[in-house]
Amino acid sequence: MIEGKKQPSELGVKALDDLTFQVTLSEPVPYLVGMTTHQSMLPVPKSVVEKYGDAWVKVENYVGNGAYKLAKHVINEKIEFERNPNYWNDKETVIEKATFLAIPSTNTDVQRYRAGEIDITNYGLSPEIFPKLKAEIPDELFVVKTLSTYLYEINNQKKPFDDIRVRKALNLSLDRTIITDKVLAQGQTPTYVFTPPYIDEGEQIQQPAYSNQPMAERNAQAIKLLEEAGFSKANPLKFTILYNTNENHKKVAIAAASIWKTNTKGLIDVKLENQEWKTFLDTRRQGKSEVARAAWAADYNQATSFINYFLSNSSNNTAFYKSKAYDAAVAESYQAKDAAGRASAYAKAEAILAEDAAVVPVYNYVNTRLVKPYVKGYTGKDPQDDILLKNLYLIKH
């Protein structure tokens, strides 16, 4: 369908009437309704797109079906939205107008917030200013545990990373707590698995056994594996960590490089390289990286949003990890008859991924942001941290 080889009528979707949309599936997908919140499921006005082509997204042409309509767009400056009187539930909308500002710097974002120019900051407060904000305005600071994982992606097809001993050594010798508690210190939690166990139907996922071992034991095992793989102080494992240009990614990479070198007593020697986003993605897709900073956030609150990532034929799988056993476990989840069966299959797949040491999971993200006390409707408890403007309102201040 995506390649244009089939007609839309063959997709298995149709409108039964003005208010009813029917979807026919190849197998049961109990979490389908939750998936409809993803942006790829938003309706697009076919007639408008056909009339204006790429210009359909311009303010004067744009047609949406949400609680707000696009009023103004100044590139790299701001987007303004106005209340949509045609929205089906407009009577529940309170805020008449909202402006979203393009602010590239976290510090500038906070400065304007504290000057009273902004009601809600973007997420991702820098570690440098976080302690000060926590001390001075704790009631305005929100820390949201999200369905997101920060990891180091290992190129499984490139030597020497095709050797499982090398990949296991990297996992064993990285002390994640230094990164979460010392470098970032905002509430991030160390993880040794890719899929957050607190995601829907992820409750059976277990952290691997080594996560509970003392670091001294883990380091000794890592050194033994590296020596077995042919590395020594005279011939250390040398590689480059690739990360997209960002100060936080740089700090984490510097810490990881130091931890690996220290914990393996010099058997690992790491260099750092940063690239702008597009180049960074291209390098990974082309299989040119060795170890790269990566991350994944759930598209919807269900374990498949993560589990599908490392399928052998997945376009996201730039670790080039291929496992028939992993693919089979994921396929098993598709055929499961109930939630318990799916959860069991997800746990099996995650255990295989961890045993193969395909990647180095580092931590689960938190979103940090400031919200003025007079802004109501934001709970800070949504694990996807989705903020719907239609649910917000302001009280007198």
Whether residue 354 lies inside any domain: the answer is yes
Answer whether residue 8 shows pLDDT above 90: no
The answer on 215 and 275 residing in a single domain is yes
The answer on 334 and 225 residing in a single domain is yes
Average pLDDT over residues 113-127: 95
Place of tokens 């130091």: 258
The answer on 334 and 291 residing in a single domain is yes
Whether residue 133 lies inside any domain: the answer is no
Question: Which pLDDT score, from 0 to 100, does residue 41 have?
Answer: 87
The answer on 206 and 78 residing in a single domain is no
Average pLDDT over residues 129-135: 97
The answer on 151 and 108 residing in a single domain is no
Q: Which CATH number belongs to the domain containing residue 331 in this structure?
A: 3.10.105.10
Contact 293, 275 (CB under 8 A): no
The answer on 383 and 324 residing in a single domain is no
Question: Which pLDDT score, from 0 to 100, does residue 4 have?
Answer: 84
Give the model confidence (pLDDT) of 164-179 as tens digits: 999 999 999 999 999 9
Give the model confidence (pLDDT) of 212-263 as tens digits: 999 999 999 999 999 999 999 999 999 999 999 998 999 999 999 999 999 9
Distance CA 385, CA 146 (A): 7
The answer on 88 and 33 residing in a single domain is no
Total domain count, the chain = 3
Question: Which pLDDT score, from 0 to 100, does residue 104 have?
Answer: 86
Distance CA 210, CA 10 (A): 49
Question: Which pLDDT score, from 0 to 100, does residue 37 have?
Answer: 85
Answer whether residue 354 shows pLDDT above 80: yes
Whether residue 135 lies inside any domain: the answer is no
The answer on 260 and 199 residing in a single domain is yes
Q: Which CATH number belongs to the domain containing residue 89 in this structure?
A: 3.40.190.10
Starting at the edge strand found earlier in the chain, the sheet holding 291-297 runs 189-190, 359-370, 141-154, 291-297, 237-244, 268-275
Nearest to 284, CA basis, from 148, 164, 151 = 151
The DSSP symbol for 39 reads G
Q: Is 335 exposed, middle or buried (0-12, 13-18, 19+ CB in 10 A)?
A: exposed
Answer whether residue 2 shows pLDDT above 80: no
Whether residue 349 lies inside any domain: the answer is yes
Range of the domain at 26: 8-57
> Which tops the pLDDT comparison, 33 or 348?
348
Whether residue 217 lies inside any domain: the answer is yes
Task: Using a cut of 0.75, tell me whether the model's pTM lies above it.
Answer: yes
Whether residue 3 lies inside any domain: the answer is no
Distance CA 352, CA 312 (A): 13
The answer on 153 and 17 residing in a single domain is no
Instruction: Give the helix ranges, DSSP H, for the chain.
Output: 32-35, 46-52, 106-114, 130-136, 164-173, 176-177, 215-228, 247-263, 277-285, 304-307, 324-335, 339-355
pLDDT band at residue 151 using 50, 70 and 90 as cut-offs: very high
Answer whether residue 343 shows pLDDT above 90: yes
The answer on 253 and 158 residing in a single domain is yes
The answer on 375 and 331 residing in a single domain is no
The answer on 161 and 117 residing in a single domain is no
Whether residue 2 lies inside any domain: the answer is no
